[in-house]
Structure 1
Amino acid sequence: MINYLLRLAFVGTNFSGWQVQPKERTVQGVLQEALSKIFNEEIKVIGCCRTDAGVHALDYVANFKAKKDFPEEKLLLALNGILPKDIGVYEVRKVSPEFNARYSVKGKVYLYKIWNSEVRNPFLYPFTWQVKKGINFELLKRTLELVRGEHDFRAFAKLEEEKNTVINLEEVSLKREGKLIEIRLRASHFLRYMVRRIVGTAVKIALGVYEPSLMEELLKGKGKAPYTAPPQGLHLEKVIL
């Protein structure tokens, strides 16, 4: 069996997330269907993580094993020829049999985009959370600085699916260009809903909806994150191998 690594990007708008679900259009499902046709055998694809419905990926790593030894460049062209327009594969590579996209990656970078304006930007609307009320950027920055480093993020997770909720957030950075705010977070791994709940809570604090002390309380394990930012603003920006 040959082990193939794929790097791909996808627009999550019309997908019910990464993972195969009955009667739902998913990235994993579409990819497996395309590969099964190309290889003329049933292919099971392993992804580096799950993404929720509507979440995008600028960089996503997956792998699969197949009997046929397919030239990498030909497979790259074949995949991009058969896949729908909202998925693009930009690298195919044969790797060692031990490589597993779920367990072999060393880290991930997530990017969350906010369009802070009352006026809709139709070119950014599918890829941002539009927040119409003015965000206190300095308060947002101070609030997000609190989550940098090692913390127990159980207050931001879907707990029934998580065993270890202690994570070291190695990077938390903010950038603002005009009305566009970008938030980046880097860690070895993330809990489900973690980024969206951190961002959602921090933004609501910066809007004056919640007290600034709320983030510290949540990091101490007191309560549950009260707001989850919408999925379309979230992008898996980089997978670190």
Structure 2
Amino acid sequence: MSKSSRGKPGHTKSFEGLQGHLLIVEYLGTPYSGWQQQPGKVTVQETIEKVLAKLWKRPISAQASGRTDTGVHALGQPVSFQAPRLHNAAVLTRAMNANLPFTIRIRRARLVPPEFHARFDAQGKTYHYHILNEPVGSAFLIDRCWHLPRPLDLAAMRRAAKLLVGKHDFASFTSNPGYERETTVRTVKKLTLTKRDSMIHVAITADGFLYRMVRNIVGGLVKVGQGKITVQQFKEARDACSRSAAPASAPACGLYLAKVYYPKMGS
């Protein structure tokens, strides 16, 4: 009996003779026009698929847990694909890294069931956002964090952040993705702000994220930290369920996809 599962919701796809593969990918988003393939632009997906095609000598479609925008980075982006088994996980990791640019690294690989899908099987994600809060800034971090020279009120930002933990309608904190969404309700499980030296680290874990949700949240928290809106006004923006009610988005350079969570899988 042939195995089959979804390539997209409502669709079935045969995986007869194919092995599922999962890559955990780290990349610097600066030189890429996001994850998804785009005509005439260099993307992370295109770069990885070219290497897969070279190794397997056939076209292979790679699916990520989500599409990162231009300039957004990843510490652990899961990427799945189906192909005949050629290598064990360790050999595949070495072969991929030997052919990829140094701005993309395969941190590890594993074999998974052929029906596994990095996007549709995900149960939650954690994103990090980095803010460099000092007068001068850093030449080495110019495209890896958001530099804000004036001191931020971290205590006020933390009070505002607490208002987002739990199940809420995040319509005020999402941009138009260009397609219809079933719901804008999401559950934020954890949202923390910590500071080490001059760097503020924002970490947010949720069961799912809307388009530009993290950047829009950080943009709002920064306005609170700058004293441009109060914590009460931030709450009112949340409750308005309208993008126009919330502050502008934070830039892409400070955002990192840190981790994606899945049900436990067998070996």
Residue in structure 1 matched with residue 27 of structure 2 by the alignment: 10
Residue in structure 2 matched with residue 190 of structure 1 by the alignment: 209
Paired residue for 2:168, among 145, 148, 151? 151
- Secondary structure of the residue aligned to 2:205 is strand
Alpha-carbon distance in 2 for matches of 1:212, 1:60: 33
The 5 A counterparts of 1:205-224 are 205-224=224-243
Residue in structure 1 matched with residue 249 of structure 2 by the alignment: 228
Paired residue for 2:92, among 72, 75, 81? 75
1:124-158 deviation line (CA, Å, top 9, x unaligned): 33211001111111111111111111100011112
Alpha-carbon distance in 2 for matches of 1:115, 1:73: 36
Aligned length: 241
Residue in structure 2 matched with residue 19 of structure 1 by the alignment: 36
- Secondary structure of the residue aligned to 1:201 is helix
Residue in structure 2 matched with residue 62 of structure 1 by the alignment: 79
1:31-75 deviation line (CA, Å, top 9, x unaligned): 001100110000100110010110110111011111343332222
User: 1:71/1:129 Cα in 2 relative to 1: closer, same or farther (>3 Å)?
Assistant: same
Residue in structure 2 matched with residue 102 of structure 1 by the alignment: 119
Alpha-carbon distance in 2 for matches of 1:12, 1:35: 20
Structure 1 contact 36–43 (Cα < 8 Å) conserved: yes
- Secondary structure of the residue aligned to 2:202 is strand
Residue in structure 2 matched with residue 200 of structure 1 by the alignment: 219
Q: Which runs of 5+ in 1 are unaligned?
A: none
Q: Residue 127 in 1 paired to residue 121 in 2?
A: no
Residue in structure 2 matched with residue 239 of structure 1 by the alignment: 260
Q: Which runs of 5+ in 2 are unaligned?
A: 1-17, 263-267
What RMSD, in angstroms, separates the aligned Cα atoms of the two structures? Answer: 1.3
User: 1:223/1:62 Cα in 2 relative to 1: closer, same or farther (>3 Å)?
Assistant: same
Deviates more, 1:29-38 or 1:117-126: 117-126
Alpha-carbon distance in 2 for matches of 1:65, 1:78: 17
Deviates more, 1:228-237 or 1:123-132: 123-132
Paired residue for 2:134, among 114, 117, 120? 117
Alpha-carbon distance in 1 for matches of 2:196, 2:85: 48
Amino acid at match of 1:172: L
Runs of at least 4 residues off by over 6 Å? none
Deviates more, 1:186-195 or 1:71-80: 71-80
- Secondary structure of the residue aligned to 1:12 is coil
1:139-198 deviation line (CA, Å, top 9, x unaligned): 111111111111000111124433221011000111111211001000121011100000
Alpha-carbon distance in 2 for matches of 1:179, 1:185: 20
Alpha-carbon distance in 1 for matches of 2:147, 2:131: 6
Structure 1 contact 46–100 (Cα < 8 Å) conserved: yes
- Secondary structure of the residue aligned to 1:9 is strand
Alpha-carbon distance in 1 for matches of 2:242, 2:160: 17
Q: Residue 169 in 1 paired to residue 188 in 2?
A: yes
User: TM-score, structure 2 length as denominator?
Assistant: 0.86
Shift of 1:222: 4.6
Residue in structure 1 matched with residue 52 of structure 2 by the alignment: 35
Alpha-carbon distance in 2 for matches of 1:40, 1:143: 52
Alpha-carbon distance in 2 for matches of 1:23, 1:233: 25
Deviates more, 1:71-80 or 1:26-35: 71-80
Structure 1 contact 173–183 (Cα < 8 Å) conserved: yes
Alpha-carbon distance in 1 for matches of 2:112, 2:182: 30
Amino acid at match of 2:26: A
Structure 2 contact 72–254 (Cα < 8 Å) conserved: yes
